[in-house]
Amino acid sequence: MSALSHITILDLTHMLSGPYASQLLADMGAHCIKVEPPGRGEGTRKLLADDEKYSIDGVGAYFLTLSRNKKSVAIDLKKPAGLSLFYELVKKADVVINNFGAGVPKRLGIDYEVLKQHNPRIITCSITGFGETGPDRDRAAFDLVAQGMGGGMSITGEEGAPPLRAGIPIGDLGGGLFAAIGLLAALNQRDQSPGGRGQHVDISMQDCQVSMLNYMATMYLMSGQQPPAVGNNHFVHVPYGTFKTRTRYLILACMGDAFFGKLATMFNDPELMDPKFSTQPVRWEHRHFINTRVQQHIGQETCEHWLERLKEHRIPAAPVNDFEHALSDPQIMARDMVVEVPLGNDKTVKQPGNPVKLSSQSKQAFTSPPALGQHTNTVLSELLQMNDSQIAQLRQNGVIG
Catalytic positions, written as ranges? 234
Q: What is the CA radius of gyration of the chain?
A: 26
Give kind and range of the element (H or E) at residue 348.
strand 347-352
Phi, psi of 123 (to 5 degrees): -115, 125
SS3 of 288-318: HHHHHHHHHHHCCCCHHHHHHHHHHCCCCEE
Give kind and range of the element (H or E) at residue 204.
strand 200-204
> Cα–Cα distance between 33 and 37 in angstroms, integer?
13
Would you call 343 helix, strand, or coil by DSSP?
strand
Backbone region of residue 29 per phi and psi (left: phi > 0; alpha: psi in -120 to 50; beta: other values)? left
> Cα–Cα distance between 401 and 394 in angstroms, integer?
9
DSSP secondary structure string for all residues of 56-83: ETTEEHHHHHH-TTEEEEEB-TTSHHHH
Using CA of residue 29, residue 30, residue 33, residue 34, what is the dihedral sign? negative
User: Under 8 Å CB-to-CB from 204, ≥6 apart: which residues?
Assistant: 128, 129, 130, 131, 175
Is residue 152 within 8 A of residue 213, CB to CB? The reply is yes
Q: 106-109: long-range contacts at Cβ-Cβ below 8 A with a sequence spacing of 24 or more?
A: 108/77, 108/78, 108/83, 109/83
Taking 3-state DSSP, the helix, strand and coil percentages for the chain, each rounded to the nearest 5, stand at: 40, 15, 40
> Cα–Cα distance between 392 and 398 in angstroms, integer?
10
Using CA of residue 272, residue 275, residue 280, residue 284, what is the dihedral sign? negative
- Burial tier of 34 (Cβ tally within 10 Å: 0-12, 13-18, 19+): buried
